[in-house]
């Protein structure tokens, strides 16, 4: 082997070694990690976290009332539901079960529309409380047959008076979340942004752009409240 070929071979070997040494497998960020990241970022930015919510949703296709009733029976056993509160309308049925504990509360909702269309049934399990603890959502694994879509949300009050415009505080939170702003709605006492964190493995599409986190700040009566949610905010703000 001549010198040039030897040098070329050594260059390839060195390049491969450097690549492998610098490579780290990108593991998906779990929904629990996203929740804890949002809480940490808000606290870092002077927020007194007051409430969190975790909403899990699964869709199914059910063709008749008997199958719907069977589903309610199964979920009653899985989720330890004491009693369903059932509402009937011309479109279908809605079954709700709620339970309050000392540190959190949970709500299970099952809706079925009588139209025989794809995904006409929704199972929604929502847990909320003041102080986050992952053990509060353990029951979720008993409820769903498949991996549900998760929506998480954090609400709090900013401890310090915001100097300057609300957008400045939003920018600080975006930076700490490693998120890029995609869309913005701004008023005198309110600002809301949709953003994208490329490290998070899920996203929604809006105007051909990806988003997976929303931030909203409202200023009323010398009180500044902030809400952060992923992939979107599901609570009222």
Q: Is the pLDDT of residue 157 over 80?
A: yes
In 3-state terms, what secondary structure has residue 137?
Answer: helix
Q: d(Cα 225, Cα 59) in Å, to the nearest integer?
A: 33
Q: What percent of the chain has pLDDT over 70?
A: 85
What value does the mean pLDDT take over residues 159-168?
A: 71
What pLDDT is recorded for position 207? 79
Give the CA angle between residues 125, 126, 129 to the nearest 5°. Answer: 150
Residue 13 backbone dihedrals phi, psi, to 5 degrees: -60, -45
Structure tokens at 101: 């504990």
CB proximity list for 63: less than 8 A, separation 6 or greater: 116
**What is the sign, positive or negative, of the torsion defined by CA atoms of 75, 112, 67, 119?**
negative
Closest Cα to residue 121, out of 71, 77, 82?
Answer: 71
Q: What is the pLDDT of residues 8-60, one digit of tens each?
A: 444 444 444 434 444 444 567 899 999 999 999 999 999 999 999 999 999 99
d(CA 214, CA 224): 17
Find the mean pLDDT for residues 120-144.
95
DSSP notation for 175-193:
HHTT-EEEEEEE-SSEEEE
Confidence label for 236 from pLDDT (cuts 50, 70 and 90): low
Non-local (6+) Cβ contacts of 96 within 8 A are 84, 85, 86, 87, 107, 108, 109
Mark 139-150 as b/e (b = at least 16 C-beta within 10 Å).
Answer: bbeebeeeebeb
| pLDDT confidence of residue 6 | 52
Provide the pLDDT for residue 189: 87
SS3 assignment, position 173? helix
- Residue 132: CB atoms within 10 Å: 23
Comparing CA positions, the residue from 50, 32, 29, 33 lying closest to residue 227 is 50
CATH superfamily of 31-230: YwmB-like (3.30.2030.10)
Number of CB atoms found within 10 A of residue 197's CB:
22
The pLDDT value given to residue 27: 67
Nearest 5°: CA angle at 109, between 72 and 143? 60
Would the pLDDT of 235 be above 90?
A: no
Q: What are phi and psi of 60, to 5 degrees?
A: -140, 170
The three-point CA angle 10-15-19 to 5° equals 150
Under the banding of pLDDT at 50, 70 and 90, the label for residue 164 is low
Q: Tell me the average pLDDT across 200-215.
A: 89
pLDDT tens digits, 55-99: 999 999 998 999 999 999 999 999 999 999 999 999 899 999 999
Average pLDDT, the chain: 86
Q: CA-CA distance, 29 to 148, in Å (whole number)?
A: 16
pLDDT digits (tens, 9 = 90+) for 172-183: 999 999 999 999
- Residue with token string 């040039």: 4
- Give pLDDT, residue 198: 92
pLDDT attached to residue 132: 96
């Amino acid at each position: 082997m001549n010198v040039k070929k030897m040098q070329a071979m050594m260059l390839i070997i060195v390049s491969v070694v450097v690549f492998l040494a610098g490579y780290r497998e990108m593991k998906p960020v779990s929904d629990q990690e996203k929740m804890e990241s949002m809480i940490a970022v808000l606290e870092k930015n002077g927020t007194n976290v007051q409430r969190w919510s975790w909403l899990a949703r699964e869709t199914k296709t059910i063709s008749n009332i008997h199958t719907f009733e069977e589903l309610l029976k199964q979920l009653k056993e899985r989720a330890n539901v004491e009693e369903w509160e059932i509402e009937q309308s011309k479109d279908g049925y809605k079954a709700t079960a709620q339970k309050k504990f000392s540190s959190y509360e949970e709500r299970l909702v099952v809706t079925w529309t009588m139209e025989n269309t794809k995904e006409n049934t929704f199972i929604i399990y929502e847990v909320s409380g003041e102080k986050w603890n992952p053990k509060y959502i353990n029951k979720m694994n008993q409820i769903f047959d498949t991996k549900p879509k998760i929506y998480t949300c954090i609400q709090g009050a900013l401890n310090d008076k915001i100097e300057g415009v609300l957008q400045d505080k939003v920018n600080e939170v975006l930076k700490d979340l490693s998120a890029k702003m995609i869309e913005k709605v701004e008023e005198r006492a309110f600002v809301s942004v949709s953003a994208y964190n490329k490290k998070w493995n899920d996203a929604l599409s809006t105007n051909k752009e990806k988003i997976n986190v929303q931030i909203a700040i409202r200023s009323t009566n010398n009180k500044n409240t902030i809400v952060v949610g992923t992939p979107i905010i599901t609570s009222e703000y």
